[in-house]
Amino acid sequence: MAFVELKNLNKYYPISGSEDFQALKDVNLSLDKGELVSIVGESGSGKSTLMNLLGGLDSQFTGEITIDGQNMSTFKEKDFVNYHKEKIGFVFQSFNLVSHLSVLDNVTLAMTLSNVDKKTRVARAREVLKQLGLDDQYKKKPSQLSGGQKQRVAIARALVNDPDIIIADEPTGALDSQTTDQVLDIIQDIAKTGKLVIMVTHSEKVAARSTRVVTIDDGKIIGDIRQGEIALHDNAFELQQKSKSKNLTFFAAIRLALLNMKEKLARNILIALGGSIGIMSIIVMLSLGEGVNDYLTETMNANVNPLVSEVRMPIVMETNNSENTDSSMMIMTPAGAEIPAGSAPSGPPAGVTQSDPFGEENLEELRNIPHVAEVNQAYTSLTIGSDNVIFEENKYSFMTFGTTSGMTDSNILYGAFPEEGEILITEGIANQMGATAEAAIGKEVTLDVTIDGDSLEKNYIISGIYTAGQAIGAFESVYMSADSFETLTAENNMEVKPNVVYLVSDDPDNTQAIKDEVAALGYRGSSADALASTFTQMLDIFTYILSGVAGISLFVSAIMILTVLYISVVERTQEIGVIKAIGGRKKDIRRIFVSESFLIGLFSGILGVGIAYLITVVGNIVVENLFDTAILNMTPAFAVFGIVTSVIISMVAGLMPAQKAARLDPVEALRHD
């Protein structure tokens, strides 16, 4: 039995609808090792069709193909892969070298697919290249070679795995007569080593140098002439020890992907840039959330006594203690006091209102909240233009007046808590008075405050400087002790009910429960709490917008990567065909493309993280200049998250193109006419 046996081989190409075109008609042929067979025939006679079937690139046929006793009809994908890796070497008319790989990489590609170690790979490839006179060319790219050199590289690639059969479809079709002779010499030498060389040709001259000429016409063999034997080498038929077929490793796939990406550097940089926008938005968004959260927590902790909960009466929309009777609508100010709508912001007579006072029953209700150890009554008001500190005949206005109940030491910037007859002022007032904060302490001033519509005046000594810390919405303020306030109102025959109450908890851990209960009873919490929650809400909205932007740009970049990889598949069709012809599995091809999308994702992610980092640095510098605090906090976890997200999105986007590449029909992929 011959090495290759074709029996009643028929090939039908499906064309439109139910019609088939018969390209091979009952072909019977036996071929043996050591033969150099020329297949001749007119264009369209079925030569390539026959080669594709023999080479296992096309498995759709009727009849029988037997190679070395194995029936091809029984081949599974794995068998075809091994067949390509071990038994068959292809040489094509158009060389089909992979343009972005060096000569050496082109020749070693088949071994890379089999995971042969690098040393063996390079040694074997250089040995073959040397035999073909290309030893000094192995670093070049295919585009730097002449036609004859390219075909010799292609022959080296076909020989490197030491196959039994070499199939050459018009190997000299693209060469001039001198290089044709060179290539034919090489092909003859190959046959001398005991391989079966099957060569498709148009040329009489080429056919004349073979041992056998098979003529094919309209899908039928019409001639089979033997014209002499070839002088076989002594060690003919001896084959190299074949490495056990393994698979393309992940690192080899990454390297192949990198080599391809390097070739299209500008394009890949642009893609990475496009892909980085979404990742950058996500990281900036997360950093902003983190930074603002840190800021709020820090501010709260620095200025709030963890035992104390501030309570105010519920907001009443209809008010009757306002002087301004026609304006019943109230506006919330940042500090939580109400200013009647329509009151002029600065011109006297100023509209002045306070939170509604607590009644005895309210205080009782608050006292009964579990874990409340103490109920401190306090007074506070927010006014515009009617409260002043008078110093050396000059008036300095302030907005917040209140008692010191609920304050902590952190609220005292300089000096001490005020005793009877003393007050705290803010640094701004001290500066307006022409003094530094520290120099203002001990000075005597006249305080002019409006309480329940009455303007009260009394002299006080400044005991210290008040600070709201970093609290937002801190106005110029004056504070005195609750006792001093009681003295002041009593001297003016007034009885002022508290409009703020500070509940002291028995344990810091119970404070939140008290706050929750206060809210459940319908009271309001501290204005700072309210402000923080407003702020958080605004931040949430901002975060939603940013997430939207990030989501859309991630989606767009996924589509972009998808498109680019599809284009890449089209561009690399021939390369994919070659990989399949030399024994690349679907899996290997998928792996090369998935590696490429992995790399695009990785680069986009790294770029996105880099840009986001720059934005947080620059953003923080700007914000620090404006507000004295940094609000972008990019943690390493965000960077990792960004890169991982980018890689995942990119790989998901790359799945479809990779699948398309893996499914590509090698016959289609390698067709060039």
Interface residue list for ligand ADP (CB under 6 A): 13, 15, 21, 23, 41, 43-49
Per the structure block, which two tokens stand in for 165?
Answer: 């059969």
Q: Using the minimum distance from each CB to ligand ADP, give the nearer residue, 45 or 595.
A: 45
Q: How far is the CB of 171 from Mg ion (least distance, A)?
A: 12
- Helices assigned H by DSSP within 398-510: 427-432, 437-440, 482-491
Nearer of residues 218 and 452 to Mg ion, judged by Cβ: 218
Q: How near is the Cβ of 51 to Mg ion at its closest, in Å?
A: 8
Q: Which amino acid would we find at residue 402?
A: G
Question: Cα(312)–Cα(456) distance, rounded to whole angstroms?
Answer: 24
Residue keyed to tokens 């044709």: 180
574, 621 Cβ separation under 8 angstroms: no
Neighbours of 28 (CB within 10 A): 13
44 binds, among Mg ion, ligand ADP, none (CB under 5 to 8 A by kind): ligand ADP
Q: Which is nearer to Mg ion, 27 or 462 (CB)?
A: 27
Nearer to ligand ADP (CB atom), residue 218 or residue 506:
218
Nearest to 557 by CA among 616, 615, 600, 612: 600
At closest approach, how far in Å is the CB of 200 from Mg ion? 6
* Torsion region of 393: left, alpha or beta (phi above 0 gives left; psi -120 to 50 gives alpha): left
C-alpha 670/C-alpha 580 separation (Å) is: 10
Nearest to ligand ADP of 46, 657 (CB atom): 46
Q: Which does 41 bind (CB under 5 to 8 A by kind): Mg ion, ligand ADP, none?
A: ligand ADP
Residue nearest to Mg ion (CB): 48
DSSP single-letter state for residue 602: H
Quote the least distance from Cβ 612 to Mg ion, whole Å.
55
Chain positions 432 to 451 lying near Mg ion, rule: CB under 5 A, are none
Please identify, using beta-carbon distances, which residue of 40 and 197 lies nearer to Mg ion: 40
| Least distance between Mg ion and beta carbon 656 (Å) | 32
Residue 374 CA to residue 367 CA, distance in Å, equals 7
Q: By C-beta, is 9 or 366 nearer to Mg ion?
A: 9
Which of ligand ADP, Mg ion, none binds 584 (CB below 5-8 Å, type-dependent)?
none
Judged by CB, which is closer to ligand ADP: 11, or 312?
11
Residue 303 touches which member of ligand ADP, Mg ion, none, C-beta under 5-8 Å by kind:
none
Considering the complex, state which of residue 118 and residue 672 has its C-beta at the smaller distance from ligand ADP.
672
DSSP of 100-138, one letter per residue? Answer: TS-HHHHHHHHHHHTT--HHHHHHHHHHHHHHTT-GGGT
Mark the segment that binds Mg ion (CB under 5 A) among 44-52, 54-62, 260-268, 547-555.
44-52
Q: In the complex, what is the shortest distance from the CB of residue 13 to ligand ADP, in angstroms, rounded to a whole number?
A: 3
Pick the closer one to ligand ADP by CB: 48 or 355.
48
Q: CB 121 → ligand ADP: shortest distance, Å?
A: 33
Structure tokens at 25: 């008609």
d(CA 60, CA 256): 31
- Length in residues, the chain: 673
- For the CB of residue 96, give the shortest distance to Mg ion in the complex, in Å: 14
Which of 14, 508 has the CB closer to ligand ADP? 14
Nearer residue to ligand ADP within complex by CB, 44 or 370: 44
What is the smallest separation between the CB atom of 196 and Mg ion, expressed in angstroms? 19
Identify the DSSP state of 524: B
397 binds Mg ion (CB under 5 A): no
Residue from 510, 496, 501 nearest 374 by CA: 501
Q: Where do runs of H (alpha helix) occur along 349-436?
A: 360-367, 427-432
DSSP state of 242: P
- Contacts of residue 267, Cβ cutoff 8 Å, sequence gap at least 6: 564
Q: Least CB distance from residue 165 to Mg ion, whole Å?
A: 18
- Site stretch for Mg ion (CB under 5 A), options 43-51, 242-250, 459-467, 526-534: 43-51
CA distance 531 to 539: 12
Cβ contact 272:278 at 8 Å: no
C-alpha to C-alpha distance for 240 and 104, rounded to whole angstroms: 20
Instruction: Output the CA torsion sign for 516, 522, 523, 526.
Output: positive
How many residues sit in the footprint of Mg ion (CB under 5 A)?
Answer: 1
Identify which of residues 207 and 609 has a Cβ nearer to ligand ADP in the complex.
Answer: 207
Residue 46 touches which member of Mg ion, ligand ADP, none, C-beta under 5-8 Å by kind: ligand ADP
Q: Give least dist CB 43 to ligand ADP, A.
A: 4
Residue 6 and residue 503: Cα distance in Å, rounded? 99
Q: Which is nearer to ligand ADP, 21 or 237 (CB)?
A: 21
Contact call for residue 93 and Mg ion (CB under 5 A): no
Under 8 Å between Cβ of 461 and 478: no
Nearer to ligand ADP, 41 or 666 (CB): 41
**Cα dihedral sign, 416-417-422-427:** positive
Calpha distance 414→410 (Å, rounded): 10
Contacts of 118 (CB under 8 A, 6+ apart): none
Smallest gap from Cβ 21 to ligand ADP, in A, equals 5
Distance CA(141)–CA(38), nearest Å, equals: 31
Point out which span in 45-53, 127-135, 180-188, 544-552 binds Mg ion (CB under 5 A).
Answer: 45-53
577: left (phi over 0), alpha (psi -120 to 50) or beta: alpha
Between CA 149 and CA 174 the distance in angstroms is: 12
Residue 48, interface with Mg ion (CB under 5 A)?
yes
Closest approach of ligand ADP to the CB of residue 642, in Å: 47
Contact of residue 21 among Mg ion, ligand ADP, none (CB under 5-8 Å per partner type): ligand ADP
Write the DSSP symbol of residue 85: I
C-alpha to C-alpha distance for 362 and 354, rounded to whole angstroms? 17
* The two three-digit tokens of residue 227, written as one number: 């014209």
Nearest to 554 by CA among 278, 272, 270: 278
- Minimum CB separation of residue 201 from Mg ion in Å reads 10
User: Nearest distance from residue 33's CB to ligand ADP, in Å?
Assistant: 24
SS3 465: strand
Binding residues vs Mg ion (CB under 5 A): 48
